[in-house]
Structure formats: C-alpha cells, structure tokens
Structure 1
Amino acid sequence: MAHAPLRQPPASGLRPAARLRWQGLLCLLDALALLALPLLPLLSALRRARRGSGIPGLQEKVLGPCASRDLPRGGVVVHGVSLGEVGLMNLVVPALEQSWGGPCVLTTSTATGMQALNQRWRQQPQAWWPLDVPMAVDGFLDRLRPRAVVLLELELWPRFLAACHRRGIPVYVVNGRVSARSYAGYRRLGGVIRPLLRPLALALGQNAEWSARLRALGCQRVCIGGSLKADLVRLASETAVDELRSRLNLDPQRPLLVIASTSDDEEQVCLAAWRQACPDWQLVICPRHPERGARVSEMVAALGASPWRWSLAASPPSAQAVRIVDTIGQLSALYALADMAIVGGSLGSNRHGQNMLEAAAHGCATVVGMDTSNFPDAMALLRTAEAVVETTAEDLAATLARLAADPAWRQRLAAHGRCAWLGARGALARSQRLLAAHAPAPRINDKSLE
C-alpha cells in the first residue's frame, strides 16, 4: 500500500512554546554550520597535507551535484555514509527497485564509499551527500526532487530531515542501528531530534532493543527488520580466491593470519602479537582505510619485517613479506584464504567493531576485541555457536599463540562460524516485505518535479 507524504513542517505537532524552541535550536545549528563553512578549504588543505587527499567531493557537498552528473528526478535516494553502509546497497537497492520501481540515486559521504559505488554501481546514478546547511541541502533536493529517501543504518541530519518533511518527501531508515552511546547523545538533543523522527515513513531496526530506542526517540512507525549483515555476506568465488592467492604469492602449505579492518591504534598491537605468537605464519593486513597503506608499511618495517603494498607493487611479494592490501573489494577472498582472522574496530579504536560474520562465514577462526557493541546480534549468534574468540589487546598475543598451537580448536571455530551464518539469514526478505507495505506514493502532478 502506498503512503502519501504529509507536506508540513516537522514541528507542526508541537505546542507553540515547544515549536519556538525547536525552531530556535535548528537556527542555532544552521548558524554554527554556516560559520564553519569558510573553514572547510583550510580543513581540506590540512587533510591533504596529512593524508594525501582533501575533503572528498567538497564542492558538490556544498553547491549540489555537478551538472555533468546524469541524475534523474523523482527517483529514490539511497544513502550510505561510508564503505560499510554502501555495501548494504548490494541488498537494498535491488529490493527497492523490485518493490517500489526505479530509479535509485546512490549517495555517500566518504572517499571509500564513493570508490565502492564506482566499482559496484558504475551504471547507477551517484552523487555526494550534501553538507547539512540550508544552501547545500536545498541545492541537492532541488536538483533531484526525490520520491523518497532511504537512510541505511542511521544518519540524522537535522536540516536535511526538516527539508524533506517540509517538502513532503518520505524518509525511511533501513537496518537501523542506535548504540547506547548514540542513544544517550540523541536524548540530550531530544528537543531537536524528536520532531525530526516523528514523521519518518518507516524505521526498520536491526533488533528489538534498537527498535525500542527508535520509538523512545520519537519514531512512530517502527518495525524490527533484523540485521542485514548475515544476508550481506557473499562467499568469495573460487576464481577470486585463486587469483588473490596468486597475486599475493601465498604458500597454501603455510598457515595464514589476516588482520582486517584495522585503524592506527590497533595495527601496532596486532603486529606485535603476530611477531610474538606466530611469526612463522604468513601475514596479510587489510586496513580499514586504504589510504593508510603507507603508515602500515612503516609499522611493518619498524618491526624488521619486509612490507609489500598492493597499491604500489608491480610484482608479487617475496615469500617472507608482510602483505598490505591497501585497496577495497578483496576482504571476502582474504577471509576465504585465512586460517585465522583478527577483525579490527574492536581493540581500542572506539569504532565498536566491524562485521565479524563475514570472517566466520568464510570458515576461518575469528578473533575480535572486547569492543563490538555495534554488532550485538552477530556477536550473540557467534557466542552461542562457540564460533568466535574475544580477547583484550593485552591478551591478544597469548590468544593467538593458543590458537596457533591448536588446529582442532581453529577447525571447530571455523565450522561453527559457517553454520551460524547460514542459520542467520532472512532479514532481507522481512525488510523487503515491510518496505513494500509502506511504499511511497507516486509523486503525480507534483509541481516540485516540473
């Protein structure tokens, strides 16, 4: 059943005094954002000096999509802030096009997100997500005139949401996630957030707890869709695995440790643990951000090992080299090759974990740190199946040493992880049914599309 959007200001249901407070808070946020705009070129230059590239897509984020982009009007905007959320588009976009009809315009905010869009969705309309200031938001919406907006996981941009509600553009949240930390922050901004969430067309939470938090924050139409992370995992093909083994010059007779999705404050710990626990194992590092390949190479060299970088190498690495895969799109095949994998984001980086189900699904012994709060369902599933090992950064070396010395334990972890993943799929079908039941109404005779 199609649902017609309500064309009204998001604070229209508030009492006069509360409405004034809300409008004042929104104006304050606008003023702060506008004051920060002149600093963006400087921040971009500093980022370029430090990381080799400026703020990605800055001009389009401020002024709207460039004229050269072929962007249809009246489509569905699907937004994934970065690489992980863009990965969910592999499931969500085909489901939306089947349920609602096309076209979908895909947006992201980060360089790695746009790189993934260019690789996987080269023929699909793409754009940078606007900065949350009036001129940027209005330029974006004026250009696209979307039929609906779908936010993957949860991205709350006050000015953007307010503009959508005012224009009658329904906004959906899919695979919604509200961590305890985010929930506490949103509650402190309840005067701003609640009027923005109340008009959402539908919010699909990953689990009962996060769905309850969405309701408490003001969402009126909330359902439990389940986590798409298990459905998202696609096993690497034998061809891709064989090609990667050859490119990395890996010896199938020697065990392989993969350190994946790490950041600066985790790689030192992981490298030291490998050196202490299993230095005879082959090692591959796949950092969370590929542009950090040079920094990881420096860490490897500081250990006295020989680094090899995917992005620079013209020939395969030596047998003893530490391989640094500073690119995207290779992680599934790496997990398929690995005997053991450390999944980063969980060892003190304050990123609250990465998708450990992907490692478990590929049948490698999966090790994570203690900070996995962004993946409660995946961790509950793997814990119940005895398919994951949790450790502190301080105990990582000892944990790796025990696993390296016990192949039977590694094999049990691998088998249990694969079975747990197989049994966890199904959230995509539930989400698709719910989205079909809450489809946006066609914008027929809408002057905004003229």
Structure 2
Amino acid sequence: MLFLVDLLYILFLPVLLAWAALSRIKGHPPRKGLKERLGYGKTLEPSTKRVLLHAVSVGEVNAIRTLVADLKESEYDVVICVTTDSGIKRAEELYGEYHTVTRFPLDFSFAIKRFIKRVQPSIIALVELEVWPNLIGICKQKEIPVVVINGRLSLRSYKRYKFAKCLLRKTFSRISAIGMQNEEYATRVRKLGGKNVCVLGTMKWDNAVLTDFVEGAEELATQLGIDTTKPLVVAGSTAPDEHALLAKIIPENTQLLCAPRRHNWFDEAEQQLAPCNRRTSEIRIKTNRFLLDTIGELDMAYALADIVIIGRSFSPLHGSDPVQSIAFGKPTVIGPNASDFKDMVQLLVDGNGLLQCDKTELSQVVTDLLSNKTKCASLVANGRDIIRSQQGATKAYEQLIMDNTPNA
C-alpha cells in the first residue's frame, strides 16, 4: 500500500512542480523548509505522553490555542506541526516559547517514517481533517493512534475525497476516532469509510475571547496614523475582489482598514486603497485608508473598529470566521458567501448577533450602523450571548485525545 501511494505521488510530481513554477511566476514567495518537508529536523527526547497536533495553516493554528493550553495543564508534551510558511510563523509566535513547532513533511513514506522516528508521538491529532494515506498507514503499523479533532469536511472537499474513495476508504477506517463539528460533516466522513465518528462541535467558539481590551491596539493605531476620534471600519481576511468594493462604499469621512487574507494580495490591496498607510512601510501620510499587511495583528485592528466587515464573503470564496470580532464587542457584517462557517453564521444571524447582506446592500448597512448606536449595542449583546452558549467543544476534543492516548 505504501509503495502504491508513493508511486501515485511520483506520477503526480510533474503537476506539482508545474503548479509551483506557476506560483512563482505570479509573484508568490518560494516555499521554505525543504529539509523539513523531507522529514528532517530535530530529534526529540522520548516521552510517554506526547501529542502531535497537525494544523495545516494559520486558521487551524489559531483554532487550537485553548486546546494547547488545556493539554499542557493535563501534562501532555504538545508538539505542533504545520504545513504552510505563514502557519509556521504564527505557530512560533503562539506556542514556540513552551512547545516544539515543526513542519509537516510530504506524505512520501520515507519522509513520514523519518518524521515519526524523530518526533516519537504517543498520539497524533489531525485538526479539521487533513488525511494523508502514508501517514495513517505508517502510524497503524507502529500502533500510534490517529484521531481527528474539530473535523470539517465541506462539500467541495468531500467531492475531492470521493474521487479517490477506493484508495482512501481503508485510510479513513484506520483512524482511531473522528470528532466532527456537525452531523452533516460526520455523515460525509462515514460515507468515505470513517468509523468511530462523533459530533462534538467546533472549537472556534472557545477561542473567542470576550473582552473590550486588546493589548497593542492603541500602539497599532498610533503607528498606522489612525485617528481614534473618527469612525473606523475594519475589513478582516479580505480578498482581491473586495478591496475596490470597500473603498467605494465606505462613507467619505469614515476610515477604512483592510487586512488581506494572503501575502500575495497585499500589493493589489495597496493599489485599490491608495493613498493609504501600509503597516510594513515607514511612509506615513494623512489618509483615511490603511493596509494591515502582517499576520497576527488582526485582533488589534478589530479592537479599534467601530464596525467589522468579514472578508472573503463578498467575493466568490467561502467566508472567514466572524466570531472574534463579535466577542470584542464590534457590530459585524458578513456577506452571502460563507460556506466554510455556515453553521456559525446561521446561528448568529438567526439570533440577531450578526448582519448578513450582499454587496449591493453593504453601503446602506454600514451607513445605518454608523448612525445607530442602539442597533450596534443590540447586535453585540446578542452575539456575545450566542458565543457563550456555544463554548465548550475544546474540552470534548481534549477528552477524545485522552481517551485514545496509550497508557494515559
């Protein structure tokens, strides 16, 4: 089985290399960590209670904050492995002081064996469902339990997995336990061959910090030149199609800060917001437009906002997480495209804790909120109540890990 998977990967390699070359032509930065992607890295001392949390990128890295703290309290040696460069950077910021952060290797059998040998996990937890045949097959051989936590399987991902169902059915059946966010996702995983599947909710609610103060927010305002006496709209995790829209619909005397989701969208955003103050630039002008081109500072920006608009929801993508801005006490608006957060959005909209509109309505919605403090306060109060009512999934996922850890 391992040989067959390796052979398929080798056959697919030319496509991967062509994709990487195209990415470079488009101006994307080169991928880092080649040695780590081949399984090399620091060999850890043996531990009888080591959990390896696999978080693909920034979103998953952020989602496990509460879980990592809880596992540490339960005396686990927590290792976080990440796939993307931005995810590695964020994981180092959040966990590097107390935990090992490493890169997840390519799923070639030789790289996985080398990786497992040097990390020596007691159990592996895959965050949000990142299933790799060789990883799970080798862990089965070595009797290392693999579980899924905070599992999510969108329709588009399900269709991709279903295309390789004959190859992946055995892989899914080898996973010791699968904890999914909702029954819809759980049903899809069962159809792919998953066993011991249960619904435990989403950890994203637990990471929402209900507070009116975020350390560093005032410094960010000063460094960017934001006037805290004037209204500010913050658009978080935005996509290219949205920057021109936002620049057009925000009222003239209202400030706008955009925080694009990806590094390769920063330059386009700067052009659409011009003239603007860019976070990583030393040049400062008097302006109402700001660009946050860093990772890890969005919470500070949200804390400064009068209104928050959730990005990737007014473009043909799949939305972003609306919970943290609401937890910070900010009236929040999301667009129609939010399939990756469908359950959360529906619950918040139905409970009048989040406004949802399309791009033709956005200008009027923003104008109404800026002039209606009572409506803003009601939105925030309702949203915070919903967040409180939904928290607790992290403890369930921690228990799932503990129940499947050998000799724990």
Are the aligned partners of 2:230 and 2:255 in contact in 1 as well (CA < 8 Å)?
yes
Matches within 5 A, 1:268-347: 268-274=244-250, 278-301=251-274, 306-313=275-282, 317-347=284-314
* Aligned amino acid, residue 289 of structure 1: R
User: What are the Cα deviations for residues 183-241 of structure 1, in whole angstroms up to 9, with x where unaligned?
Assistant: 23323322222211112121111123222333332222122221111111224745423
Q: Residues 420-449 of structure 1: CA distance to partner in whole angstroms, max 9, x if unpaired?
A: 22222111222223333333347xxxxxxx
- 1:39-438 aligned at under 5 Å gives the runs 44=20, 46-51=22-27, 53-61=29-37, 63-66=38-41, 69=42, 71-74=44-47, 75-99=50-74, 101-123=75-97, 124-234=99-209, 235=211, 237-274=213-250, 278-301=251-274, 306-313=275-282, 317-350=284-317, 352-438=318-404
Report deviation, 1:48: 4.1
Call closer, same or farther: CA 1:268–1:32 in 2, change over 3 Å: farther
Please name the residue that 1:10 is paired with. Answer: none
Superposition TM-score, scaled by structure 1 size: 0.82
* Compared CA separation, residues 42 and 56, structure 1 to 2 (3 A): farther
What is the CA-CA distance between 1:79 and the residue it aligns to?
A: 0.8
The Cα shift of 1:358 comes to: 0.9
Gaps of 5+ in 1: 1-22, 443-450
RMSD: 2.5
Whether the aligned pair in 2 keeps the contact of 1:47 and 1:55 (CA below 8 Å) is no
Given residue 369 of structure 2, which amino acid in structure 1 is its aligned partner? Answer: L
Aligned residues of 1:249 and 1:319 also touching (Cα < 8 A): yes
Q: CA deviation at 1:121?
A: 1.7
Whether contact under 8 Å (2:113, 2:138) holds in the other structure is: yes
With over 3 angstroms needed to count, the CA separation of the structure-2 counterparts of 1:132 and 1:143, relative to structure 1, is same
- Residues 147 and 176 in structure 2, CA contact (< 8 A), matched pair in contact too: yes
Percent identity reads 30
Q: Is the Cα–Cα contact under 8 Å of residues 236 and 332 in structure 1 kept in the other structure?
A: no
Shift of 1:46: 4.9
For residue 258 of structure 2, what is the amino acid of its counterpart? Answer: I
| Counterpart Cα distance in 2 of 1:129 and 1:107 | 5
TM-superposed deviation, 1:83:
0.2
Deviations 1:392-430 (A, max 9, x none): 234333433343344433332222222222222111222
Give the number of the structure whose alpha-carbon radius of gyration is greater: 1
Hey, what's the Cα distance between the residues in 2 that align with 1:424 and 1:121? 25
Change (3 A) 1:52 1:224: closer
Match of 1:12 in 2: none
Query: What residue identity is the alignment partner of 2:252?
Result: P
Aligned mates of 1:156, 1:279 — CA distance in 2:
48
Scaled by the length of structure 2, the TM-score of the pair is 0.90
Identify the residue that residue 16 of structure 1 maps to in structure 2. none
